[in-house]
Chain A
Amino acid sequence: MKITTPASAGTMESGDIMIEIESGEQQSVEVVLKSSVANEFGKQIIATIRGAVEEFGLEYAVINAVDKGALDCTIRARVFAACQRATGSDAFDWGKRA
């Protein structure tokens, strides 16, 4: 699956995360995170974002994320929404684990 257009999902509200996704020049998934809890949970948040992108089926992407204290389930939902919008795909496997 490939990114056809830059896309975003989420908000800057408390408890949410803003995800912006675009195709990068590197052949990898790069994540740039801004979060007030980056020192405590930064690695975990980045791993959750990266895992959701790969689970969606994207191998290459640049993600800019601004976290406002989102739970893991919110991070995953926002990443999937951004990926769907960026790839134009509307087929989501609702049977996969949370």
Chain B
Amino acid sequence: MHAVVDYLPSILSGALLTLELALLSLFMALVLGLTGAAAKLSKIAPARWTATLYTTVMRGVPDLVMMLLVFYGGQILVNEVGDRLGWDYVEIDPFVAGFVTIGVIFGAYFTETFRGAFQSVPAGQLEAGAAYGLSRWQVFARILFPQMLRFALPGVGNNWLVLLKSTAIVSMIGLSDMTWLADQAGRSTREPFLFYMVVCVLYLLMTAVSGVVLDWLTRRYNVGVRASVL
């Protein structure tokens, strides 16, 4: 058991890295998701086509394949461009490759979530806003967006939990997240089962905390909405 105590600080630092990676990816995915939803609902046909292509490809290709492509392919791409511009050799950081890939992939899932949520806001709300003489921007910022969040929240919560777990694959491109560190600790102590269990417990802890936060957000965004009782 003492082995766990020795390696715990290292694995906890890996957990912190996992969390940073997940939060950065989440931020990127939220921005891409809102942009994608705007494109899917836009009147401009090429914008809709681009967004559809984006969501179809991202949801049909495994995250690991995409990550290997970004990590190894990006390396070559950056250096080919760099050669022409006279840069020195640039090394792609697995952390950057990891959060860009996860952010771009989950951006596609968030696009669908936000698109559905925008469409769930009753049209009468928007008409009422226009009737009050609000500008289009005011209708968006005061009426559409805040109400959309309530509809989007369950989907956002689900996507977040999936995103959090898919961060484990960054260990396969050599980023020292908690899965990778546990792997190393398991090899050197010959107690891999123990250390993988520690990682499982840490992931479960993160999911549990996320659940509490999501419940709180759901309550907050549903203030003033009567729940339907069957």
Q: Do A and B bind each other?
A: no
